[in-house]
Chain A
């Protein structure tokens, strides 16, 4: 056996590279550029949010293929409606709203066309902390953009803290501080959502 790594745990994807290569404008700037006649800039928003959006949808649809289809559909609807977006800095949470509707439509379609009990089985089953219907992607949408960007790069693009620092041209200490603050905000948000859900569930009880 060799001196170097033998286990193949690193799976690289060109999409990751693309994310690293694309210019790091803010969501608002990308939206503005799309509106200013550069529709190709929408690709950067897709690269930025395709993974969290997929993960969000994965808990709402039946299988991986449907999650991908729903994610595509959500992005395309977002593109078509981009001129209606009132707060471009809230692009991601607006996108999640669109995705929620797409998933519901898909669910209703399934319910009409299939009598398959598995139709409501979510794709995400390995998340032990996953409590019902409050995926972390919604909580991420609430974060300030710089915090959200660090979380997305660290987890969804799989960059190390050092790589995030290089990518965003900020000191490593700023990355850890931003992560620390982002974790606190996420926990707060998830806790609040958990409480709200429990309240709703209790209300729903006969």
Chain B
């Protein structure tokens, strides 16, 4: 590789987009060429600077507040467009979402067949009905590992309960819970507890969704769902259809079905592993009279056939929510997740490849060097020590990536101290301010 070829590929390398041979070639050139190395370092420095600035604003969401004030400043009457009619419906809390629906719906109505447009209208009326409410409580079942993240699915496993409480007014609050994982946003901060790992995560600001719960929040704030489905219908060719049926209560129901495509290739490692990256059929049932959403079923579409993965069968609207739902009982010895900070010898770790970092991590676990383990994972608590302490690293493969994941996966085989052999893929990522590889899952 010469300097010109190297410069052409520096950004792709810094973004982790080069394939393994390409990256090896480029890194070999960097080792040999001080000028290109300096250029690469300059790009990395700028990236770090941008990341740091963007992180400062990560949780900022002032659009609703600004638009409330803007509306008060308005002197000209609104035109009677579809958008303005929709916007009038709920200017307060759901404004941003409603605006997005209005924009998406307008584009959709103009560009799609009548049957799809009718389905979109049913969903929009559902969102408008929902926009009048002050709280929602969803109860359903999800096929997933009980302790795994809120978006993950396990289509071959059993169903577990999942619940969402969400208060829209006077102040946004929410709680999502499944057997081994719970997250609470109490209006001040957002905290999650992973019970099996005895690990807590705290986001010091309120958030409208966090910790991979966005897909469920979208259902609770139906306007977001509709905007998302319509946008994808337009951009990715998702199909919407509408049917009517008589429900068990003898009342007429409008049933909107959405065929959603993950956009991932069949050989992508993360395909069909979470709600965000799965080919699904989503069925929304609305009461034709009240126009409120009554149930949602999501089916995973696999070549071997469909598997139900989510069944939302109880939705309570405007039900008073017990104040205790906004409190999260934390174990006294809970360990807190911390974003990695730059270390004095940070460069040593930042310059590692994913494979080198995975090896260093496992070898540190093998010799129970917990300070060193802490360079790659947070927190290093007793559960982690008990599980990985004294392991034997049997093999480590070449890392690979997924279109849906910012980090890399490193295949490995380890023998735990109790003799159990584990053959899995370590998820590891370095898109943090320290640029060090951090173990993100797959343990």
Contact = CB atoms under 8 A, between A and B. Distances in A.
B57 A52 contact: yes
A123 B235 CA distance: 39
A129 B58 CA distance: 19
Nearest to A162: B403
B54 interface: yes
B83 A38 contact: yes
A148 interface: no
B76 interface: yes
Given A8-B149, A72-B69, A123-B56, A13 B61 contact: yes
Contacts of A2: 145, 147-148, 152, 441
A180 B440 contact: no
B11 A23 contact: no
Interface in A72-131: 72, 75-76, 79-80, 123-124, 126-130
B440 A40 contact: no
A21 B228 CA distance: 7
A76 B28 CA distance: 52
B305 interface: no
A26 interface: no
Contact of B48 (A3, A129, A183): A129
Contact of B10 (A23, A55, A180): A180
Nearest to A169: B235
Q: Output the residue of A4, A43, A127 with the most chain B CB within 10 A.
A: A4
A24 B20 CA distance: 34
Tell me if B's interface is mostly helix, strand, loop or mixed: mixed
A61 interface: no
B179 interface: no
A149 interface: no
Contact of B62 (A44, A75, A160): A75
A43 B221 CA distance: 19
B51 A155 contact: yes
Interface in A161-202: 161-162, 166, 169, 172, 176-177, 179-180, 183, 186-187, 190
Contacts of A12: 209-214
A1 B66 contact: no
Contacts of A166: 235, 263
Tell me if A's interface is mostly helix, strand, loop or mixed: helix
Contacts of A23: 103, 107
Contacts of A141: none
A72 B66 contact: yes
B338 to A, nearest CB: 11
Contact of B208 (A13, A75, A79): A13
Nearest to B403: A162
A31 interface: no
Interface stretch (B193-201, B310-318, B366-374): B193-201
Interface in B397-443: 403, 406, 424-425, 427, 429, 432-433, 438-443
Contact of A180 (B11, B59, B192, B203): B11
Nearest to B339: A9
Nearest to B230: A21
B104 to A, nearest CB: 6
A37 B32 CA distance: 60
B62 A72 contact: yes
B112 interface: no
Given A8-B337, A18-B63, A75-B66, A124 B227 contact: no
Interface of B: 10-12, 15, 17, 42-43, 45-63, 65-67, 69-71, 73-74, 76, 78-79, 81, 83-84, 87, 95-97, 99-100, 102-104, 107, 145, 147-149, 152, 192, 194, 196-197, 199, 201, 203, 207-214, 217-218, 221, 224, 227-228, 231, 235, 263, 273-274, 337, 339, 342, 377-378, 387, 403, 406, 424-425, 427, 429, 432-433, 438-443
5 contacts: A5-B441, A6-B443, A7-B377, A42-B70, A72-B62
